[in-house]
Each structure stands twice: as C-alpha cells, then as structure tokens.
Structure 1
C-alpha cells in the first residue's frame, strides 16, 4: 500500500479568495456570514449566507468560458489552479495518464438551473443557451479541471449531499494508496446561494436567520455558504523524490450508512465512521488531538455528533479538541468537507486550531472542548475531519503531520 501526502491546496470561500486568505480568517476567528446579495432576496425568509464577496468572473475568465462555466465550476478551477501551482507539478506523458480528478458537489450548476428556469417559466422564452446541460451537470467542474491541466487518469464526481467532498477525497486517497493513480486532484465545491437554492433549503426549516452557532445551547440552525477547496494528493515516495513541500499525510478513511432516516442523523452511523477511520489509519483514540466537526449548528446534528465522539473516544474525549468552522464560512453542502480540510492541515502544519465562533452558552449535550470563539495554539499529530450527510451517509478522513 502506497503512502499518500498532500502537496498543494487552493480555496475560495466567504473567508477569502485563496487558501492563505481563508486560513488567515480562520486564525482570526473572522465571520464570513452576512446579508445575501442575490436577486429576489426580499422574497426569502432566510437572507444570510456565507457568500463569496468581491468576486468578478470577468477578471478570471473570458466571455466564452463564462458561458460554459457555472459559478461552482469557476470556483473549482480557481482553487485547482492555486493547489496545482503550489504543488509544482506539471502533467504530461506518463504522469498525465496516471493522474486524475475526483471532486464532490451536491447540487452542481444550481445557478444555471435557477437562471434558465426563470428564462422559460418567468420570461416565457422557448429557447435556452445550447450549453445549459454541460454547464449545469455535476461533473462539469471535474471535467474542466481535467481538461485545463491535462489529467487523463480516473476522473469523476461524487454527489452525496454534505459528505460529497469527504467521499471524493476518500476515493482519491484509496486510488493512490492502491496504486491506481500517482496523483489525484480532489476536493469539492458548491454554489447554491441563488433564489431557488435558498428557497429549497428554507423548506426544511433547519436554517438560522441570524448566525451559525455550533454546539452553543442557543443555536438555531445552519447557514449556507459557497466556494471551493481543492488539494493535490500524491504518492509519498514521488513527492519526496522531487523535493515537494508536504503539507500533511492522509492516513485513513471510512464511510458508513445510517440506513435509518433521510434527514435525521444517527449516533451509531457517525460513531462507526469515526472509529473506522481510526482503524484504517491504525491510530488509537489517545493519538487524535483534534476533530474538525461536521457541526452544522442544528440541534439534531450537534448533539448526535458529540454523542458519537464521546462514545468512540471514551475518557479520552475530555482531552480532545473539536471545532466547527461552519460558524465562519457557512455550510458549503457538497463542498464543505474540502474547505474544512484546510483547518485540519493548519492544525497539523502550523499548530493552530480553528475556533467555533458564535459560541455563547454551554450545552450539556455538547460537553466537549469546542475551542470556543478564539483560535488556539496546540501541538497535534493526528486529526480527523467529519462529514455526515442527509441520507445517512457518513465519511471521515484521518490525517497526520507531514513525515
């Protein structure tokens, strides 16, 4: 089995237009959630989100590209460029044939769906742009990343709601570990902060009107975000041979299904995924120093996740740090695990634990160290990243400090 390391990272989110900007905001405990600036916002009852601000597509892409790239694809391409540039890799010949792309997204081109439904139903037009289908399809981002960087190996998209990115990164990890690929570009993206996207989520009645406060007793729901994060996963020996900077090592992955309810989370399903990732990584509970929680800020998720962590870690749970960065960037749905992996890498590489901001009142059902409101300096060697999705699909990654 090959060892797998991360040699590049890129991001764009409500916290910044690069991985560095996003991480700086996490260190500062900055909140990227604010009033939505979208069409027909006055018709929404939920009017906040983790929106990417100050973004101009025309500064990044030409007119022909914009006609073909939905917002989620644009975000992915920008993050991928940053990650691949940091890795120092260039794909040609045999390396191109052995390198691929696995990305996660729940909704794909939601902005494109929204705009074209308006064109047909509201404006009464009978024709849409000929590129609507290739623009909105879930695999658009993965396909465009493969084309832009000449990646000719295994490439596809994973759509498992809020666990999409973790499932995608887990597949990328296993492909390199098994020898199927040398390099995988992986992560995820989402952009559904448009009228239809927000209106659909309103119907679930799980959204907060004012803030995301994971683990706080007065939490009142989740807040949507948008953006992308992309990583370069690479076989360790080849990364070492070319002198690449290694950001972290991926050491384990597990996925489970609750097989119980389409929206309510299961403590048992989450616990099996957490324990499975540690077993795959061959680490004990006392070796794990930090967990980036799924931590959506809903009553059901937070208490279920804390109970699962407590069950798996037992008395070691008292010495474990756990935080939810969704409090800062919002819930990126299919892209959320990717942005949250940045916080895991920061914990290992820089010794900085991203905080859970907005924490106001202790909740006896979430009685763990949730790193409230301010980042913390701490030395950790092993971290976990949790993702628990609607449909009862769970995916947990384990990472270790760079070798």
Structure 2
C-alpha cells in the first residue's frame, strides 16, 4: 500500500519507554491523563558540592535486571535506558527476540549529551580520587552512538544504524529520518527513538547557570514545571528512554501487526536567527512541511503536543507559531505540554513526546498540561488542556520539538482509517 505521493506508508507498531513510575507505556500514559507529575527534588548522589534540583529521575530502573549483568557492566546509563526502551517497544510490537535479526531492519537513535556520566566518572577518578588512569571502556561507553550500536547488536539489526545529536530536536529528527528510510524502501522496519541520562553534576549545574531551571523544594517539586502559566519559572531536566517501532505498512499488515497509527509527516527547519532564542517563523515552516507531507490541512489537526518547556521566551513563541499557522482553527485546537509531568529529556524528549502523541491518536485521549491554572496573557489563543486529560476521537495530531541552534522538527500522526 502506498500513500498518495507514491511513497511507502509508515506504521507505528510498537512503543516502549523507561519511565519513573515503572510499568508499560500504556500505564505511563494513564498516569499522564490523570495529570500526575513524575518530577521530584533530585539530590545528586556524588556531587563534589551540595546539589539539589527538581528532576524526572527513574529510580525503579534496574539495568542488571533488564539487560543482564554483562551488558549492564559495559554500558553508560544513557545506553542502558535506550536499550531497555528498545527492548520494550520490540516486545510491544510482537517481534521475536530470538532469531529476529534482519538486514532489512535498522536503528535510528538520538542523544543530546550522550555518556556524560562516564565522562564525569573519569573526571572524578582523576581529580577527586587521585586515580592514575581512566576506566578502560570509557570511550566506548561515552560515545554518542553507543546506545544505537548496542540496540542493533542485541536485536541483530543489519540495516543502517544511525545516531542523531541535534540538541532538543534530536529524537524527533531520528524518528523523522527513520520514516524517510522506510518511505524510500531502504529499511522495512526501524527502531527509532532516543535516550538521555543528563543528571550529572556538570550538566545540572550548566543548565542552572542559564537561569532556566524551575526553582523548587521538596514540597513544590511535582508542580514546579508549569508551561504556559502566568509566572512560570522554567524547565526541569529528566532522564529516560523512549522508542517507536516504525514499519513499512505492507510489511506490518503481512505479519499481522497491531498498528497504533500512521506516522504521516515530518518537517524540519532552521530558525537561522539566534543560537538559543526561538523564532516563530522557523517553527511555522517546520509544522507546515510536516502537514504538507502528510496531506493534512491545518483544520484536520485535533491535537498538538507542544514543545512547551515553561521558559519565559519559548512558550509564547510556540503559541504565536500555532496561531499563525492554524488561523481560525487555533481557538479550538487542543494543546498540551506533557513536559509538565515528565520533564525535559533533552535529546530524548522528542521520542517521549512522539510516543505520547501516537498513543493519544490511537486511544482518542489527550493528556493535559499539568499545573496549568492560569494561562499567561502571551500564551493565549489556543484550547489548552488543563487539569486532567480529555477523551475525544482524534483524526490527526502533531508533536513539536524545537532546539537550541535553531533546529525545529515536527512529526504528524494520523489515525488508522
């Protein structure tokens, strides 16, 4: 089956993630629908100076239990989170772990800061503990393509194995480029997503220094990330991994796979204006390209999973873009920013939000922006989903990912007809 443009259609047949609550992607989505925040005050366990920040941490994740001791022993946490998410998505897609290898199946993965915990361990070993050599596996644990390579090796995937690092747009780009490979017939199936373990002393301090991290104490941490809120205080870092199994539609139907929805469009643009300040014009271009490829009119989009980081400049820029592109339809366009509950996973955030958007389309349920009680004046003009989630049939939805460096990536998902 081909789409109207003659390219192969792309099905989402599996979803998997590592999340702070434990359990499946479906369980995680249910908790998001209830507006439950996973953000807590995180105390860095080995910082050379006291460090506490609100963060989304995955304390229940046991790498040895999921991956086995040998693999866990030779991988950085960001790889461990990614491999576990890929395994979960693979199982969800009904694919066999034993004898599953195929030269027509590949990997498209992403990370922003890669093995930062490995780098920090080396620094601490030298300058704090006085050791005279680094861990012998430091290079292969820290490299940005380690997670993708391990996923390919563990699942026996012989098609292209690629890693993208484009700041906070990384995993949306990884998913979009995987879509391109399937459309072109280069791969029948791609494990696409991203993983991030940014809760190192250096990364947390670096983001704090930019003055964009939400202030919080123990009691206020769950509600401190408030996208689009009047008086919002900033973003919250998160760790985790998320994966989608993307598959050629005919291949999925032939093996009797369950299809969640169609990944129908992908748009990418560059702001070309400023390294960190978002530009609404660039965002509009990316959304328009995604809709054009999907063959969707703006009025057919029922939900936008916003990039919405709760920063002073980022949130209104995105709302301006939505109002410009969607016009009169914007007033009834459902919008939410799920970072309010799972934090900002940097290079993995686009995959987490793509997974949430795909489930929203498949289930006919839209999660809310948690903690949003009063929409800021500069963020009005769309139908913000506040409090708890809403249930309604969705024809199509988009997931926005906008990054430092001016890179914008948008994914469009369409319901199975």
Q: Cα RMSD between the aligned structures?
A: 1.7
Matching residue of 2:415: 401
Matching residue of 1:176: 182
Note the C-alpha offset of 1:91.
7.8
* 2:375 maps to which of 357, 362, 365: 362
| Structure 2: gaps (5+ residues) | 1-6, 217-223
CA deviations over 1:54-96 (Å, ceiling 9, x no partner): 2222323444322311111111111111111121224899971
Do 2:18 and 2:61's aligned partners in 1 also have CA atoms closer than 8 Å? Answer: no
- Distance, in Å, in 2 between the alignment partners of 1:59 and 1:143 is 20
* 2:10 maps to which of 4, 10, 33: 4
- Distance, in Å, in 2 between the alignment partners of 1:28 and 1:85 is 26
Q: Quick one: structure 1 residues 15 and 337, their matched pair in 2 at CA, closer, same or farther if it must change by over 3 Å?
A: farther
Task: Tell me whether 1:259 sits opposite 2:272 in the alignment.
Answer: yes
1:97 counterpart SS class: coil
Residues 50-69 of structure 1: matches in 2 within 5 Å?
50-69=56-75
- Distance, in Å, in 1 between the alignment partners of 2:86 and 2:179 is 17
Note the C-alpha offset of 1:272.
0.6
Matching residue of 1:384: 398
Select between 11-20 and 152-161 the one with higher mean Cα deviation: 11-20
Do 2:290 and 2:411's aligned partners in 1 also have CA atoms closer than 8 Å? Answer: yes
Do 2:78 and 2:147's aligned partners in 1 also have CA atoms closer than 8 Å? Answer: yes
CA deviations over 1:174-231 (Å, ceiling 9, x no partner): 1001111100000111111121221121121111112110001121100001101111
Select between 361-370 and 126-135 the one with higher mean Cα deviation: 361-370
Task: Tell me whether 1:291 sits opposite 2:297 in the alignment.
Answer: no
* 1:120 maps to which of 115, 120, 126: 126
* 2:26 maps to which of 20, 31, 55: 20
* 1:301 maps to which of 306, 314, 318: 314
* 1:29 maps to which of 32, 35, 42: 35
2:168 counterpart SS class: helix
CA deviations over 1:338-371 (Å, ceiling 9, x no partner): 1111221222111110100011222121112120
Q: Quick one: structure 1 residues 348 and 62, their matched pair in 2 at CA, closer, same or farther if it must change by over 3 Å?
A: closer
Matching residue of 1:167: 173
Matching residue of 1:85: 91
Select between 88-97 and 105-114 the one with higher mean Cα deviation: 88-97
Select between 83-92 and 269-278 the one with higher mean Cα deviation: 83-92
Do 1:11 and 1:17's aligned partners in 2 also have CA atoms closer than 8 Å? Answer: no
1:379 counterpart SS class: coil
Number of equivalences: 403
CA deviations over 1:110-160 (Å, ceiling 9, x no partner): 111111111112212121111111001110000000000000001110000
CA deviations over 1:17-66 (Å, ceiling 9, x no partner): 43123212112211100011422569456521011122222323444322
- Distance, in Å, in 2 between the alignment partners of 1:56 and 1:84 is 19
- Distance, in Å, in 2 between the alignment partners of 1:353 and 1:392 is 28
Select between 174-183 and 197-206 the one with higher mean Cα deviation: 197-206
Q: Quick one: structure 1 residues 102 and 181, their matched pair in 2 at CA, closer, same or farther if it must change by over 3 Å?
A: same
Select between 33-42 and 86-95 the one with higher mean Cα deviation: 86-95
2:393 counterpart SS class: coil
TM-score normalised by length of structure 1: 0.96
1:305 counterpart SS class: helix
Select between 42-51 and 116-125 the one with higher mean Cα deviation: 42-51
* 1:198 maps to which of 204, 220, 224: 204
Q: Quick one: structure 1 residues 113 and 95, their matched pair in 2 at CA, closer, same or farther if it must change by over 3 Å?
A: closer
1:161 counterpart SS class: coil
Q: Quick one: structure 1 residues 91 and 350, their matched pair in 2 at CA, closer, same or farther if it must change by over 3 Å?
A: same
CA deviations over 1:245-288 (Å, ceiling 9, x no partner): 00110100010001111111001111110111111111101100
TM-score normalised by length of structure 2: 0.93
- Distance, in Å, in 2 between the alignment partners of 1:212 and 1:229 is 21
Residues 32-43 of structure 1: matches in 2 within 5 Å?
32-40=38-46, 43=49
Do 1:91 and 1:150's aligned partners in 2 also have CA atoms closer than 8 Å? Answer: no
Do 1:46 and 1:209's aligned partners in 2 also have CA atoms closer than 8 Å? Answer: no
Matching residue of 1:233: 246
